[in-house]
Structure formats: structure tokens, C-alpha cells
């Protein structure tokens, strides 16, 4: 088993990673009857995509070797209705300067093959931009 998710009431869950004991909570968003005091479940999907992209790029960068520490992603999730679903995820990846064009291309290709990206439904629009040297 990977995790345990417990409904704690008031449209909130407590999520525990069983191997480490780390926890986080989710709340329903304000526009869906929730408190909006934490990530919503759909926020975790969009955020997980960015996290996955940065992680696989970090793995690949270790083989150069290049340090990606301090790189970050700005994530915007868009919702649609009827049925309520994620319609678009925008990710702006801010990466370090000093990498060759070849290294940049390898890392971009690596990011675009992360497991979460392959797991997201193809109907969800994905806009992914890389900003090198930011």
C-alpha cells in the first residue's frame, strides 16, 4: 500500500505516505463548497505534474553533472464544468543558467516524458514553458 487517505469532515482529507509517515491535507476549493485552506485534490494533480518534471530532470542532470537546486515551477490549473474536471494545466519551469543548448534539450525532453505527464488524460490541455537562466 502506498498511502492512506482519511476523510476528516468538512470536505477535508488527511493523506499519509505510509513508507515515510509524511502527511498533507486537502480541502475542497471555495468554488466547490470547500474552505480552500489547502491544496484541492485537483491541485495535487497539477502540482504533481510539475514535481514529477523537476524530479526526472534532476535525475537526468546528475548524469551531466549539473545542479538544478533552486529550479522551480509555477503551476496554474484551470477547471471546466459539466462534468467538473481539470481542463488545462500551465507550467512555467524556471531553470538555472549555464547549461549548454544540448543539455537544455535533453532536460526538456526528459521533463516531457515524466510518468505523471503520460498518466494525465490527453483531453487535458498542457502548456509547458521552460525559462533558462531565471
The pLDDT value recorded for residue 99 is: 95
Q: Which of 109, 75, 110 is nearest to 93 (CA)?
A: 75
The pLDDT value recorded for residue 79 is: 97
Give dist(CA 58, CA 21) in Å, integer.
Answer: 24
- Tens digit of each residue's pLDDT, the chain (134 residues): 999 999 999 999 999 999 999 999 999 999 999 999 999 999 999 999 999 999 999 999 999 989 999 999 999 999 999 999 999 999 999 999 999 999 999 999 999 999 999 999 999 999 999 999 96
Q: Which helix (H) or strand (E) holds 119?
A: helix 115-119
Instruction: Give the CATH number of domain 40-132.
Output: 3.30.300.20
Domain ranges of the chain: 1-39, 40-132
Q: Which helix (H) or strand (E) holds 47?
A: helix 41-61
Give every CB contact of residue 12 below 8 A, 6+ residues apart in sequence: 25, 26, 27, 28, 34, 35, 38
The answer for 37, left when phi > 0, alpha when psi is -120 to 50, beta otherwise, is alpha
Amino acid at each position: 500500500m502506498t498511502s492512506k487517505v482519511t476523510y476528516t469532515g468538512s470536505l477535508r482529507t488527511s493523506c499519509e505516505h505510509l513508507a515515510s509517515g509524511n502527511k498533507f491535507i486537502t480541502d475542497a476549493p471555495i468554488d466547490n463548497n470547500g474552505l480552500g485552506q489547502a491544496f484541492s485534490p485537483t491541485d495535487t494533480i497539477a502540482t504533481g505534474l510539475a514535481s514529477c518534471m523537476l524530479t526526472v530532470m534532476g535525475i537526468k542532470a546528475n548524469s551531466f553533472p549539473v545542479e538544478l537546486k533552486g529550479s522551480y515551477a509555477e503551476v496554474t490549473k484551470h477547471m471546466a464544468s459539466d462534468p467538473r474536471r481539470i481542463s488545462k494545466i500551465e507550467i512555467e519551469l524556471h531553470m538555472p543558467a549555464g547549461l549548454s543548448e544540448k543539455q537544455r534539450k535533453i532536460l526538456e525532453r526528459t521533463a516531457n516524458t515524466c510518468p505523471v505527464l503520460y498518466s494525465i488524460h490527453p483531453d487535458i490541455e498542457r502548456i509547458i514553458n521552460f525559462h533558462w537562466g531565471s
